[in-house]
Amino acid sequence: MNFTNEFVEKWIRDYMAVPEHNTMVRLPLPAFDTPIVGFSSAADALYPFYKEHIDPNFYRLPTEWLEKRFGHPFDPENVSVISWVQPQTEDTRKKAAACTDCPTPEWNHVRLHGEACNRALAKALEDFFNENGVEAIAPMCAEDFSWGDSDKYYLISNWSERHTALISGLGTFGLCDGLISKVGKAVRYGSVIVNCKLTPTPRDYTEYNEYCQAKNGCTACIKRCPAGAISLEGGHDKKKCQAYQKEVIKRILKERYDYDEFSVCGLCQTGVPCEHCVPGKEK
Ligand code: B12
Ligand code: SF4
Ligand code: SF4
């Protein structure tokens, strides 16, 4: 079977259009809007660049993920990465944008149950390719996906969905560390590596942080962050961010909403010019 970008994109959209595949579970609402999809070749020079940049001893190339799973070598020229963006819904975004110290339980439902849907999509797509004779792996669902400590970047993982999305033409980083996609930053990402040729999505940027408007004086995410974890000089302070999510958000969600399933913040993703578009390119 020969696969095309259009086929894969439709497969992903159709999957997410099924209500049971796209749900906040705790509320009768979809977790995400329609996904957008990008593609890259494992032979793209940015993959080895990011392996070196993040941690050459820990970060894996697309072919290394396949080789570890299937136990034989793969030709990067024939391997592709399918990367997608799952946009938060307008309702979730608006409610979070109205918050100043802690997001809504809905935002946390998306982190917990929406992310479970996102991983289920990755697993379903991985299974679909494998069943059709194309070796595939979804790193975020793999037993050997892991986080690590890094002197340079504090927290890292052996497969970064944002760096993958950047390589796949979907967007560039913002001052707060979030990746600003074509449909903005209030999103989640996912990906699957497949042993077949798909056409890489052209990147309409050359700089890794091109869409971010900090260079033109935007400080919106700095103002949105209740933890003081974002600055023009230092970018994103992950330690402060993580501590705020684990301690303050956890306490407020319990006190305000009697909610204790999960505790993430993400306030820098809403109420900012890059929330649901590339800033300056709002449709
Ligand atoms: C660890 C982790 C965290 C950590 C650290 C985040 C981080 N920035 O690394 C903590 C706990 C703080 C965290 C918090 C959040 N997270 Co988180 N997290 C992850 C995870 C598991 C791994 C991230 C990782 O691998 N980082 C690797 C390091 C290297 O990334 P980095 O330091 O940011 O990279 C910088 C450099 O590479 C540099 N850079 C890039 N290119 C170049 C080129 C050159 C030349 C140079 C010089 C530099 C440079 O810029 C990057 C950004 O500053 C991913 C899932 C995944 N596997 O991808 C989700 C993920 C990043 N998180 C996500 C989300 C949504 C969040 C939260 C909003 C919480 C929430 N759910 O509401 C907050 C947002 C915090 C913020 N301001 O970004 C989303 C990203 C959404 C987005 N728009 O980008 C992800 C991708 C999960 C997903 N499936 O969608 N998270
Ligand atoms: S809010 Fe402004 S400074 Fe922050 S990431 Fe978005 S465009 Fe960049
Ligand atoms: S997730 Fe919250 S604490 Fe972390 S940088 Fe964004 S606004 Fe600040």
Per-residue model confidence (pLDDT) at position 77: 98
Cα 251 to averaged position of ligand 2 atoms, centre (Å): 27
Dist. CA 263–CA 103, nearest whole Å: 9
Average pLDDT estimate for 155-177: 97
Q: Which two tokens stand for residue 153?
A: 């970047």
Ligand nearest to the CA of 179: 1
C-alpha–C-alpha distance, residues 20 and 166, integer Å: 29
Helix (H, G, I), strand (E, B) or coil at 80: strand
What percent of the chain lies above the pLDDT cut of 70? 100
Going by CA atoms, what residue is nearest to atom 79 of ligand 1? Answer: 188
pLDDT recorded at residue 6: 98
Rounded to the nearest angstrom, the distance between the alpha carbon of 275 and the centre of ligand 3 is 14
DSSP labels, 178-212: -EEETTBSSEEEEEEEESS--PPPPPS-SSTTTT-
pLDDT at position 90 over 90? yes
Q: How far is Cα 78 from Cα 76, in angstroms, rounded to an integer? A: 5
Reply yes or no on whether the pLDDT at 1 is more than 80.
no
Question: What does the pLDDT read at residue 2?
Answer: 82
Which pLDDT does position 124 carry in this prediction? 98
Residue (of 131, 47, 33, 44) closest to 84 by Cα position: 33
Protein residue closest via CA to atom 8 of ligand 3: 225
155 C-alpha to ligand 1 centroid (Å): 9
Residue 264 near residue 111 (C-beta atoms within 8 A): yes
- Nearest ligand to the CA of 277 is 2
pLDDT at 230: 98
pTM of the model: 0.98
Which residues, at least 6 apart from 32, have a Cβ–Cβ distance to it below 8 Å?
Answer: 16, 22, 86, 87, 88, 89, 110, 114, 117, 118, 188
Ligand 1 touching residue 109 (CB < 6 A): no
The pLDDT score that the predictor gives to residue 86 is 98
Question: Between 2 and 185, where is the model more confident?
Answer: 185
262 pLDDT tier (thresholds 50, 70, 90): very high
**Mean pLDDT (whole number) for 163-187:** 98
Examine the pLDDT at 281 and tell me if it is beyond 70: yes
Per-residue pLDDT averaged across 133-148, rounded? 96
Q: Is the pLDDT of residue 229 over 70?
A: yes
Domain boundaries, the chain: 5-269
Tell me, what's the pLDDT at 215?
A: 97
Q: Which residues pair with 189 in a beta bridge?
A: 85
Q: How far is the CA of 71 from the centre of ligand 2 (A)?
A: 43
Q: Is the pLDDT of residue 123 over 70?
A: yes
Question: At 273, which amino acid appears?
Answer: P
* Residues 77 and 63: beta-carbon distance below 8 Å: no
167 lines ligand 1 (CB under 6 A): no
From 32, 39, 84, 62, select the one nearest 189 (Cα to Cα).
Answer: 84
Point out the ligand 2 atom lying closest to the alpha carbon of residue 274: 6
Ligand 2 mean position, distance from CA 13 (Å): 28
Tell me the average pLDDT of the chain.
Answer: 97
- For residue 65, which of 137, 165, 135, 121 has the smallest C-alpha distance? 137
Phi/psi region, residue 177 (left: phi>0; alpha: psi -120 to 50; beta: rest), is: left
pLDDT value at 283 more than 70? no
SS3 of residue 87 by DSSP: strand
Ligand 3 first shell, C-beta below 6 A: 176, 224-225, 227, 229-230, 236, 241, 244, 265-268
pLDDT (mean) for 48-67? 97
- Residue 236: left if φ>0, alpha if ψ -120 to 50, beta else—which one? beta
Q: Which residue out of 108, 225, 242 has the highest number of ligand 3 atoms within 8 Å of its CB and is therefore the one to mutate?
A: 225
pLDDT surpasses 80 at 282: no
Quote the pLDDT of residue 119. 98
